[in-house]
Amino acid sequence: MPDSYLNRLIDSPFEPFVYFVDPARRVYWMFLVSAVLLGVFVYRLSNQSGGLIAYLWPRRVWLHRSAVVDYQLLFAKSVVSALLFAPVLLTSSLVAAVVVALLHTAAPREAWGAPWWAIAWPFSFCAFVAEDLCRYIVHRAMHRFPALWELHKVHHSAEVLTPFTLYRIHPIESFLNASASALAVGVVTGCFFYLYAGKLVGLQILGVDAAGFLFGFLGANLRHTHVWLSYGPRIERWLISPAQHQCHHSLSERHQNKNYGSVLALWDRWGKSLYIPDGKEELTFGLRSGERNHEQGLLSALFRPIGAAGRAVFRRGSVS
């Protein structure tokens, strides 16, 4: 057993604690602080009844049995992913290396010369758009194909939303998401490395992708909360707001199969799945009783969707 794999496995139960100090993670402390400040802004603007603390951290949400499963999955998924998927996880660097090799084989060429900013801006933009489009495609596929939907139900079974609901994802779905993102970013990276060779550089903040950092800093954590933050209809034609993603989790018929996008609303607009709320809406989250394939418990959420997905493979039809 390679030492790197063994070390990863040993560290996996403690890995989620590192998320709070890792700018590449959604729950980085600075992103959580910015979400709280935006929550305070929404609280003041909407004249909410009750105190600020009760509004931002209601016990009925943060101590709900569904939220407890979020916390449990955060740690369990880290261990399962390290145990089963770490050795076979596709990485963007591997994809990029393959793309560069194929391009050089097909058309050998000298690298272009350009100032860093003329490389960084186009590369960062293309990588961001490619990954965002890939996330939209994979997310829509999770709702479209029965076997994938059975796995994705773990995420949609959340009856309350907290920032940790982001990690309420079945380990198999996490593996698919990570692999798809690595493929998208890797292809773009490979193409730019082929063009500019060792001069490739991207826009970064605190050592991470600038677009991802800004996404986290500007309230991404509110997407999985009860705090209604809408950008307004004009902006929501272009960017997915926290309120729009909350609608995606809604049980209401008008919200079904809407707002698959992560950041850009273009994909949903082109795919006829964009929903723009007229104003604040009262939402109920979770799955209908007939849709549930697991109970609100850790072991049930880990194992029962696998069986449901296996059975779905042999059934015809799809989620519309």
Q: Give the model confidence (pLDDT) of 102-120 as tens digits.
A: 998 988 877 777 887 888 8
Closest CA to 96 of 126, 73, 132: 126
Q: Return the higher-pLDDT residue of 3 and 291.
A: 291
CB under 8 Å to 139, separation ≥6 — which residues?
A: 260, 261, 262
Token code pair at residue 214: 């800004």
How would DSSP label each residue in 128-155? HHHHHHHHHHHHHHHHHSHHHHHHHHHH
* CA 174/CA 168 separation, integer angstroms: 10
- Please tell me the predicted confidence (pLDDT) of residue 2: 63
Q: What is the pLDDT of residue 63?
A: 96
Alpha-carbon span 61 to 43, nearest angstrom: 17
Q: Which of 273, 277, 240 lies closest to 143, judged by CA?
A: 273
Cβ contacts of 267 within 8 Å, gap of 6 or more:
132, 133, 136, 137, 260, 261
Amino acid identity, position 171: P
The DSSP secondary structure of 160-174, one letter per residue, reads: S--GGGGG-S-HHHH
Give whole-number Cα distances, 59 to 36, 52, 53, in Å.
Answer: 16, 13, 10
Residue pair 89/179 in contact by the 8 Å Cβ criterion? yes
Which two structure tokens, joined as six digits, stand for 6?
Answer: 């063994």
pLDDT bracket for residue 254 (50, 70, 90)? very high
- Between CA 6 and CA 82 the distance in angstroms is 9
Read off the pLDDT of residues 188-205 as tens digits, 9 standing for 90 and up: 999 998 988 767 778 888
Q: Is the pLDDT of residue 21 over 80?
A: yes
Could you give the CA distance from residue 152 to residue 313 in angstroms, rounded to a whole number?
A: 15
* Beta-bridge mates of residue 205: 208
**5-19 confidence digits (pLDDT tens):** 777 778 788 889 999
